[in-house]
Amino acid sequence: MSQYASLLIALPLFSAFLIPILKKVGKNLVMPFLVLTTLIQTGIAAWVFNEVYTSGEPIIIMAGGFKPPVGINLYIGYFAALFILIVAVASFLMAVFSIKAVKVEPQDKYAMLFLLLMLGATGMIATGDIFNLFVFMEITAISAYALTAYNKTGKASEAALKYVVLGGIGSSFFLVGVALIYGSLGTLNMAHIAQLASIVNPTVAKAGLALLIFGLAVEAELFPLNAWAPDAYQEAPHPITAVFSAFVVKASLYAIGRILYILSASEGWNSVLSLLIIMGTLTVVIGELSALRQTNVKRMIAYSSIAQVGLIAVGIALGTQKGLDASIFQMFNHAIVKVLMFLAVGYAALELGGPEMENFKGLGKRMPITAFGITLGAIAIIGIPLFNVFWSKMQLIMAALEAEKTGVVALILGASLVEMVYYVRLIHTIWFQGDGDKIRENSALALVMLLLITFIILIGIYPQPFWNIMQKAGSDVFNVAEYIKNVPLVGVSS
């Protein structure tokens, strides 16, 4: 029965391949079909989530019926079940938004690329094979390249070109890293690699890990490989921007975490951790400082998003269970808040003719619900009590204290301070400046925004049940011995 979870991969693929045929039947069917598919995907993801969390056992999908490490397996444990659900829900909400936001032709191609982006992120999170991770990363990346340039303006093409070049270099790094690890161990399965991690040659492990992390850092937007991100966020269609920040980054961050921890038994592991901490810290500092001087709201939130990613990376690199839990909580909260903010900003930009700060004057009077969404998202992301991000930042600080990394604590607090400055400026512009006529807001989008707002406040007031889930998800990544035990490795001896 549990093998049916492979529908999570099969359904988006099937639907994407069906669209060219559907287009012949009727052009107007494409966008509703996109919404329907993402809705079904959400249903399957919810079923899988329920299955994994009630039974406490991970779902192991063996493609082709071959046992790992001979065949490829998907590992849907606590972490994957949770994030596949997030990917599906975010895709569904953004598919609804796409109906309103994407008017540029050809919409059928847009729908196909959107579905495959969702597929890629799902696969990256679920896979238990290091080369398969590369394949899914390519699916994610290449559909992201095409979607970045989708608006076909000069700036969009430039942004996509930067992304393609950096992404290409990153992928080749990743592939060289995979080759090194395969060359020294003779296997590609993550559980099998983890099993052999203690005997792997330390030089190879260090070089391989560093290459893999560098390759993934392009997608994960870590400094110095994130130069593409602000441009791409600014120029991509609004729903795509939200999707980038909600799950494309998260999938890569998770992959970094997973690969890092499966090799945690190898020598020289700690030096890779410090590399990641340095990258994460620089990402936070540069992201926040750049956000401070933006006049384009979408770009400002993009920089803020990059800075948050840096915080998550630092949390992953603390090397403790607590740090991972906190990072995952931060990933979860950030996904919700950024979907809300990019949705609200994108919608306002559509109605007002552009995301420049100028246009946002008087938004509070013109589009109250949208303005409320932006405001609440901003307050939440700064980390004010009673909102969700407060708890995850708090946990991050506590984890950093426990790991005796006071620099990280200062980093988190400093970043929140800078965030406060630019978000308060934005809120001030929205509510206390300018005037204008009221615009009738789209009721479906208003409903989505209100739903997300409720969710943010709900987690803010009752964090405990969510924190329990995050701790389980964290142990899924941290507890490598358990991971190895859960994958039914067939005896392939050397």
Partner 1 sequence: MVKRVLAIVFILIIGLWMAKALDQVPFGEDRMLVGKYYLEHVKEETGAVNAVTAVVVNYRGFDTLGEVTVLFIASTGVAALLWKKRKERSAKTEGSVVLTTGARILLPFIMLFGAYIFIHGHLTPGGGFPGGATIATAFLFLYLTFTLYEVDHKTFEPLEGLAGIGYVTVGLIGLAVGGYFLFDWIWQTWGVGKENIGRLLSAGFIPIIYTLIGIKVGTELTGIIDNMIKEPEEGGQ
Q: By CB under 8 A, name the binding residues for partner 1.
A: 3-4, 6, 9-10, 13-14, 16-21, 23-24, 61-66, 69-72, 105-106, 109-110, 112-113, 116, 119, 123, 129, 131-132, 135-136, 138-139, 142-143, 145-146, 149-150, 152, 157, 176, 180, 182-189, 192, 201, 203-204, 206-208, 492, 494
Query: SS3 of 149, please?
Result: coil
User: Which candidate, 291, 286, 300, places its Cα nearest to that of 234?
Assistant: 300
Q: Is residue 335 within 8 Å of residue 327, measured between CB atoms?
A: no
- Closest distance between partner 1 and the C-beta of residue 276, in Å? 18
User: Dihedral sign, CA of 59, 64, 65, 71?
Assistant: negative
Q: What is the 3-state secondary structure (H, E, C) of 361-405?
A: CCHHHHCHHHHHHHHHHHHHHHCCCCCHHHHHHHHHHHHHHHCCC
- Closest distance between partner 1 and the C-beta of residue 117, in Å? 9
Q: Is residue 453 within 8 Å of residue 373, measured between CB atoms?
A: yes
- Closest distance between partner 1 and the C-beta of residue 23, in Å? 8
CB of 126 or CB of 389, closer to partner 1: 126
- Closest distance between partner 1 and the C-beta of residue 272, in Å? 13
Distances (CA, A) of 151 to 12, 111, 229, 238: 23, 14, 16, 10
Query: SS3 of 319, please?
Result: coil
Element (H, E) at 26: none
First and final C-alpha spacing in the chain: 33
Distance between CA atoms of residues 193 and 200, nearest Å: 9
CB of 70 or CB of 398, closer to partner 1: 70
60 strand-pairing partners: 75
Element (H, E) at 418: helix 406-432
- Closest distance between partner 1 and the C-beta of residue 80, in Å? 15
CB of 4 or CB of 466, closer to partner 1: 4
Token pair, residue 215, equals 């390759």
- Closest distance between partner 1 and the C-beta of residue 10, in Å? 6
- Closest distance between partner 1 and the C-beta of residue 332, in Å? 27
CB of 182 or CB of 455, closer to partner 1: 182
CB of 187 or CB of 370, closer to partner 1: 187
Token pair, residue 329, equals 């909580």
CB of 70 or CB of 420, closer to partner 1: 70
Element (H, E) at 413: helix 406-432
- Closest distance between partner 1 and the C-beta of residue 334, in Å? 27
- Closest distance between partner 1 and the C-beta of residue 379, in Å? 37
- Closest distance between partner 1 and the C-beta of residue 59, in Å? 12
Interior angle at CA 305, CA 300 and CA 307, nearest 5: 100
Distance between CA atoms of residues 355 and 155, nearest Å: 15
User: Which candidate, 56, 114, 136, 122, places its Cα nearest to that of 87?
Assistant: 122
CB of 16 or CB of 376, closer to partner 1: 16
For strands 59-62 and 73-76, give the pairing. Answer: antiparallel
CB of 69 or CB of 373, closer to partner 1: 69
CB of 183 or CB of 488, closer to partner 1: 183
CB of 2 or CB of 486, closer to partner 1: 2
CB of 44 or CB of 340, closer to partner 1: 44
CB of 142 or CB of 453, closer to partner 1: 142
Amino acid at 31: M
- Closest distance between partner 1 and the C-beta of residue 171, in Å? 11
Q: Which residues contact 171 (CB under 8 A, 6 or more apart)?
A: 134, 137, 138, 141, 215, 218
- Closest distance between partner 1 and the C-beta of residue 31, in Å? 15
Amino acid at 254: Y
Element (H, E) at 258: helix 249-262
Q: Which residues contact 189 (CB under 8 A, 6 or more apart)?
A: 68, 69, 72, 73, 128, 129, 130, 487, 489
